[in-house]
Chain A
Amino acid sequence: MGEFNVRSDSVDVDEIMRQIRARIREKRGADYTEQELQQLAQVKLERFIDPKGIRSDLVQQFRRHVATSPSLPNFAFGEDTLYETHRGPVAAIRKLLRPILKLFFNPDRLTAALHIQSQVNEQAQERLARQEAREALTYEVIHNLTVEVTRLGIETHNLKMRVESLSSRLDFSERRARSMEGLTPARSAQPQRPQPSRQPAPTAPAAAAVPGAPESAGPLNASSGGRPDAPAGSEDGGNGERRRRRRRRRRRPGQTLADRQASESSSQSGADQDQSVDRADDGWSDEGGDAAETGDDRGGDSIDAGPSDDSSDQ
């Protein structure tokens, strides 16, 4: 789509409007230019197609207006219609005086005009009947359109919700991936960092071989259910999950994790710790809250490490 090239010393409004129209044509596509003659009709149709513009009582409104008109009385005019009467003597007198009447004006013209009018009335009545039949068909079309648009509206709404759900899941996955990436260097640096609670148990001999390796690996291993053959990840994950479950159990309704931890940590640690918990909770409470529910069984590593990484991102 072309950009606007306008200099303040040479503004040409007509040229700008030409560019605007060109952009509109580009947006619409070439097909529409062939149908420009039917634009008016299309504009009317757009109101029905636009689900936000549709009236919920459209069909009722339309139905109200679709009613068959009563047929109007019509008269057949012939030559003698003007002089007709059910009284015999009066008819005779009229017939007798007709030549005298013709001296004053020409009733034949009047009769002819009324005869034509009668035919016109008949034709108009037929046209009205046909139009009303067409209205019934139009009603059908609009009714079907309304139903279809409603269905499409609901479908669009569902799709929108689905997109939102997928979007939040994608966000969670991205956060999780980032947490995992943050965790990998931490693990590779574990031999140098004394973090007893996160050291994997099955590699105890290797860990023991490292000078200064913490001895708390043994108790941690025992608390994981006494499974000496369990892989490191699963043990750590199980431990993390247990911790998380404990946290959830302790959290009361209406109380966030941060509230809970802040109250706990107030007796244990200083203001710095509180701050880090708050930030960690922010990371979860926004979108990880629901997403963490769905991702419970995907390993505890990320959940332990996630908040701290997230907080550093934010």
Chain B
Amino acid sequence: MKIAVVVQRYGADINGGAELHARYIAEHLSRHAEVEVLTTCARDYVTWKNELPPGEERVNGVVVRRFPVAHPRDVGRFGRLSHVVFDTTHAIADEERWLESEGPTSPALVAHVRKSADAFDFFIFFSYRYYHAWHGARAVPGKAIIVPTAERDAAIGLSIFAPVLAGVRALMYNSLEERALIEHVTGRTGPGVVVGVGSEIPDRPDPRRLRKRFDLRRPFAIYVGRIDENKGCAELFSYFERYATMYPHGLDLVLVGTNVLPVPKHPRIRHLGFLPDADKFDALAAADVLIMPSRYESLSMVALEAWALGKPVLVNGQCDVLKGQAIRSRAGLYYENFDEFAEALYLLEATGPLGGILGQSGRAFYQAHYAWPVIERKYLDMFERLTREPGTPMAPRPGWFARRARTARPGAEVVAAAPSGAVRPR
């Protein structure tokens, strides 16, 4: 079996959520099938500038073929078109212009996908919202599998995505909430499975080494990821400062990751910067609890890693996916305001009544659903199923006049009308 993984960026040092997800999947599927990665020369997800050389290379034993991006993103144009398609009634042509302006616009990559359709059994496209996935899936609809990594934002409400998401052979979801949202918006009834992704958890992380290296003496809660307002970090800082006043002997806050947002100067907030994987796992093992303040997540890999290490998680309850995972895993609490944040964080301290119990549940949840043998088996089962079952044709692109009729609803309005909330275990 020969599989192509098509993703917007790829590399051992590229750590975006979907990109890391794609790399892990490619590397693990390469044990069962011949895998080739098709990607762009871009490294930066904002500009999509060509920074890596086009052509073939190997990354951790997997063949990677890179294609140039035709033009970098024009941020101003992208912003204007985003407003048009998300907030106003518009035409499908506007949405296609928005997709083209979002990038990474790589016609060469799409042409290669179309040309090599017969060479691969399946094409796994990552991130439904980018140029490569939409055009690529339309190029090989009978062999396309999409890992949507969809968040509850206005993009999923755009009308160009519904026929593509409904018409591909299969969708590999990250969570039950993502599945419910996509099935509602697109009306999809075809094959799909909630898979997610595993992680490379070290056998013996060494929390003492990290504590010694960074002189961390007090118990702490940890945040791992880009320190950005979009990730909920501004609210996290505000809440933590109030918590620190309420609980002078409570947890400190340790931040791991590069910062876009300035980190407040507070005696109980430490920013360690970007850490390599080994140090990141040491830091997670040293922490009492992981905090995930983001409102928009399709799957938090860091939360899974914390659970794998037996640590409970405190998540933003306004993110359906995180809240649902906390409920289903029985390994985390959620907050929707400051009072809940402070009370839950207090209860999740390692010496508190809940930290240890929820941590154990998290470890069991990870082993049951996100250990690599489980993930690999779900992909292989899906390939077998798709090989047996015939596919349904994808709806064609609308004609010239239909694309220009201003009848498409604002994306934000479509998403707002979709049912929300965490999916609870039956």
Interfacial residues, chain A to chain B (CB-CB below 8 A): 3-4, 6-8, 11-14, 16-17, 20-21, 23-24, 27-28, 52
**B332 on interface, CB distance cutoff 8 Å:** yes
Q: How far is the CA of A6 from the CA of B358 in the complex (A)?
A: 10
Listed A/B pairs (13) with beta-carbon separation below 8 Å: A3-B353, A4-B354, A6-B357, A8-B360, A11-B330, A13-B327, A13-B333, A16-B347, A17-B333, A20-B347, A24-B339, A24-B343, A28-B339
CB distance from A18 to the nearest CB of B (A): 11
Q: B162 within 8 Å of A by Cβ?
A: no
List the 4 shortest-distance A-B pairs measured between CB atoms, nearest first. Answer: A11-B330, A24-B339, A13-B327, A8-B357
Enumerate chain B residues within 8 angstroms of A27, measured Cβ to Cβ. Answer: 339
Residues 387-408 of chain B: 1 if any A CB is under 8 Å from the residue's CB, otherwise 0? 0000000000000000000000
**Also in contact, A17 and B353, with CB within 8 A (given A4-B347, A11-B361):** no
B334 at the interface (CB under 8 A from A): yes
Also in contact, A52 and B245, with CB within 8 A (given A14-B424, A20-B340): yes
Query: Chain A nearest CB: distance from B337 CB in Å?
Result: 9
Closest Cβ of chain A to B296, distance in Å, is: 21
> 7 new A-B pairs (CB below 8 Å) besides A11-B330, A13-B333, A16-B347?
A8-B357, A13-B326, A13-B334, A14-B424, A17-B340, A20-B333, A20-B343
Which residues on B sit within 8 Å (CB–CB) of A12?
330
Residue of B nearest to A11 (CB): B330
**A8–B361 CB distance below 8 A:** yes
* B320, chain A: closest CB distance, angstroms: 14
Smallest Cβ-Cβ distance to B327: which chain A residue: A13
- Interface check B344, CB cutoff 8 A: yes
Given the interface contacts A11-B330, A24-B340, A52-B245, does A16 sit within 8 Å of B361 by beta carbon? no
Query: Most B CB atoms within 10 A — which of A20, A28, A52?
Result: A20
Residue in chain B with minimal CB distance to A23: B343
Note all chain B residues with C-beta closer than 8 A to A8.
Answer: 357, 360-361
Interface residue count on the B side (C-beta < 8 Å): 20
Contact B354 A16 (CB under 8 A): yes
Interfacial residues of chain B within 308-349, with CB under 8 A of chain A in the complex:
326-327, 330-334, 339-340, 343-344, 347
User: Cβ of B344: which chain A residues have Cβ within 8 Å of it?
Assistant: 17, 20
Hey, which chain B residues are within 8 Å of A14, CB to CB? 327, 424
Q: Once bound together, how far apart are the Cα atoms of A147 and B55, in whole Å?
A: 68
* Chain A residues whose C-beta falls within 8 Å of the C-beta of B340 in the assembled complex: 17, 20-21, 24
Write the B336-376 contact mask toward A (1 if CB under 8 angstroms, else 0).
00011001100100000110011011000000000000000
Q: Of the candidates B245, B330, B353, which one forms a contact with A13 in the assembled complex, judged by CB atoms under 8 Å apart?
A: B330
A6 touches B353 (CB 8 A): yes
CA distance A308 to B117 in the complex (A): 92
Shortest Cβ gap from B235 to chain A (Å): 12
A3 partner residues in chain B, CB cutoff 8 A: 353
Assess A11 versus B357: contact at CB under 8 Å? Given A17-B340, A24-B343. yes
**Looking at A13, A21, A24, which has the most chain B CB atoms within 10 Å of its CB?**
A13
Within 151-182 of B, Cβ neighbours of A (below 8 Å) are at none
Minimal beta-carbon separation of B424 from chain A (angstroms):
7
CB proximity of A165 to chain B, nearest CB, Å: 20
B245 touches A4 (CB 8 A): no
Query: Smallest CB-CB separation from A6: which chain B residue?
Result: B357
State A164–B268 Cα separation when bound (angstroms).
Answer: 24
A28 and B337 CA atoms in complex are apart in Å by 14
Interface string of B166-202 (1 = CB under 8 A from A): 0000000000000000000000000000000000000
Q: Which of A11, A17, A23, A28 contacts B334 (CB 8 A)?
A: A17
A11 CA to B363 CA, complexed, in Å: 14
B224-251 near A? 1/0 per residue, CB < 8 Å: 0000000000000000000001000000
**Which of chain A's residues have a CB closer than 8 A to the CB of B357?**
6-8, 11
| Chain A: minimal CB distance from B310 (Å) | 12
* Set of chain B residues within 8 Å of A11, measured between Cβ atoms: 330-331, 357-358, 361
A16 to B334, CA, bound (A): 10
Residues in A neighbouring B339, C-beta threshold 8 A? 24, 27-28
What's the nearest-Cβ distance from chain B to residue A49, in Å? 13
Q: Look across to chain A and name the residue whose beta carbon is closest to the beta carbon of B326.
A: A13
Which chain B residues (404-424) contact chain A, with CB distance < 8 Å? 424
Which residue from chain B places its CB closest to the CB of A13 in the assembled complex? B327
Q: Residue B333 contacts which of A16, A24, A28, A52 (CB distance < 8 angstroms)?
A: A16
**Whole-angstrom distance between the alpha carbons of A14 and B331 in the complex?**
11
Contacts of A16 in B (CB 8 A): 333, 347, 354
Q: How near does chain A come to B338, taking the closest CB pair, in angstroms?
A: 8
B308 to chain A, nearest CB (A): 17
Which residues on B sit within 8 Å (CB–CB) of A52? 245
Q: Is the CB of B327 within 8 A of A6?
A: no
Compute how far the CA of A3 lies from the CA of B339 in the bound complex, rounded to whole angstroms: 17
How far is B362's CA from A8's CA once the two chains are assembled, in angstroms? 11
Residues 91-113 of B contacting A (Cβ, < 8 Å) = none
Q: CA–CA, A301 to B30, complex, Å?
A: 86
Give Cα A16–Cα B354 distance, bound, in whole angstroms. Answer: 9
Chain B residues, CB < 8 A from A4: 347, 353-354
Residues of A contacting B331 with CB < 8 Å? Answer: 11
The answer for the CA separation of A29 and B115 in the assembled complex, in Å, is: 69
Q: CB-nearest residue of chain B relative to A10? A: B330
**Chain A, residue nearest B364 (CB):** A8
Report the minimum CB–CB distance from B45 to chain A (whole Å). Answer: 33
Q: How far is the CA of A28 from the CA of B330 in the complex (A)?
A: 27
Residue of B nearest to A8 (CB): B357
Give the distance to chain B from A4, nearest Cβ to Cβ, in Å.
Answer: 5
What is the CB-to-nearest-CB distance from A124 to chain B, in angstroms, rounded to a whole number? 24
Bound CA span A7–B358, Å: 10
CA distance A20 to B347 in the complex (A): 9
Within the complex, what minimum Cβ distance (angstroms) separates A1 from chain B? 11
Measured CB to CB, the closest approach of chain A to B19, in angstroms, equals 31
* Chain A residues within an 8 Å CB radius of B361: 8, 11
Closest to B353 in A: A4
